[in-house]
Chains A and B, each alone.
Chain A
Amino acid sequence: MMALSCLTRALRSMTLSQPALLSSQGVAQTKLAPHVTGVVLNQCRGFLTTASLKQNKTQWKLREKYTIKPIGMKKTGGRDYTGKVRTHGIGGGHKQKYRMIDFQRLRYEPTKVDQPFDEKVVEVRYDPCRSANIAMVAGGSRMRWIIATENMQPGDVIKTSAVIGRMAVSANEGDAYPLGALPVGSLVNNLEIQPGKGSEYIRAAGTSGVLLRKVNGTAIIQLPSKQQVQVLETCMVTVGRVSNIDHNKRIIGKAGRNRWLGIRPSSGLWQRKGGWAGRKIKPLPPMKVYVNLPSISAS
Chain B
Amino acid sequence: MFPETAQCLKAAAPLFSQTVLLKDLSRLSTHGGGSHLQARRHLSISRCLTTKVRPVRTPRERVEIPGLEAVTYGEKMHYVPGLSKPFHPQWERSYKDPGHYRSPPAHEMPLFKDRSCFVFNQRTSALEGVLQALWLTKTKLIPSLPPQLLSLSENPANQIPDQDERVQNAIKHARFWDTTEERPGKERYSNTMMVNLLHLCATLQSSHPAIGRRIQAEKCSLATTWKRGEDLFQIRGQNGLLHTCMDPLPEVSGKQEVSDTADHVLETFYPVSPTINLQKVNVYKEEINCSGFRDDYPYPHAHTLFFLEGADANCKLRPDQFRAKMLMFTFGNALVRAQKLYGPQRVLDRPVTVQAVGTNGRIFQFMVFQLNTTDLSGDDGIKNQVWLDEDVELYDFAKVRPLIKRKQVKVPAGLAGYKPEVFSKFLSLYLHGAV
Contact = CB atoms under 8 A, between A and B. Distances in A.
A138 B127 contact: yes
Interface in A23-76: 25, 28-30, 32-33, 35, 37-38, 40-41, 43-54, 56-57, 59-60, 62
Contacts of B56: none
Contacts of B30: none
A83 interface: yes
A38 B19 CA distance: 9
Given A138-B127, A142-B276, A157-B271, A54 B77 contact: no
A118 B15 contact: no
Given A48-B44, A62-B33, A83-B50, A29 B79 contact: yes
Interface of B: 2, 11-18, 20, 24, 27-28, 32-33, 36, 39-46, 49-50, 52-53, 77-79, 127, 269-273, 275-278, 280
- A-B pairs, top 8 by smallest CB distance, nearest first, are A118-B271, A59-B33, A51-B39, A6-B43, A54-B36, A2-B24, A52-B39, A33-B78
A139 B271 CA distance: 6
A54 B39 contact: yes
Contacts of B270: 118
A53 to B, nearest CB: 5
B272 A120 contact: yes
Residue of A2, A44, A62, A138 with most partner-chain B CB within 10 A: A2
A141 B273 contact: yes
A73 to B, nearest CB: 13
A119 interface: yes
B14 A38 contact: no
B376 to A, nearest CB: 19
Given A32-B14, A44-B15, A50 B42 contact: yes
A6 B24 CA distance: 12
Contacts of B32: 59
A45 to B, nearest CB: 5
A90 B341 CA distance: 68
Contacts of A45: 45-46
B18 A138 contact: no
Given A28-B15, A49-B41, 6 more contacts: A32-B15, A43-B15, A47-B43, A48-B46, A54-B40, A82-B50
Given A45-B46, A51-B40, A120-B272, A60 B77 contact: no
Contacts of B79: 29
Give the secondary structure class of B's interface. loop
A82 B33 CA distance: 20
26 contacts: A1-B27, A2-B28, A6-B44, A7-B41, A25-B12, A29-B14, A32-B15, A37-B17, A43-B15, A46-B46, A47-B45, A50-B41, A50-B49, A51-B42, A52-B39, A53-B2, A53-B42, A56-B50, A118-B270, A119-B271, A120-B269, A120-B272, A122-B127, A140-B271, A140-B272, A157-B271
A251 interface: no
Contacts of A44: 15
A294 to B, nearest CB: 34
B40 A3 contact: yes
B46 A33 contact: no
Contacts of A245: none
Given A3-B42, A10-B43, A48-B42, A120 B271 contact: yes
A68 to B, nearest CB: 10
Given A2-B24, A43-B15, A118-B270, A143 B43 contact: no
Contacts of B45: 25, 45, 47
A117 interface: yes
Nearest to A159: B271
A37 B12 CA distance: 11
Interface in A87-128: 117-120, 122
A138 B28 CA distance: 38
Contacts of B277: 143
Contacts of A25: 11-12, 45
Contacts of B52: 81
B131 to A, nearest CB: 13
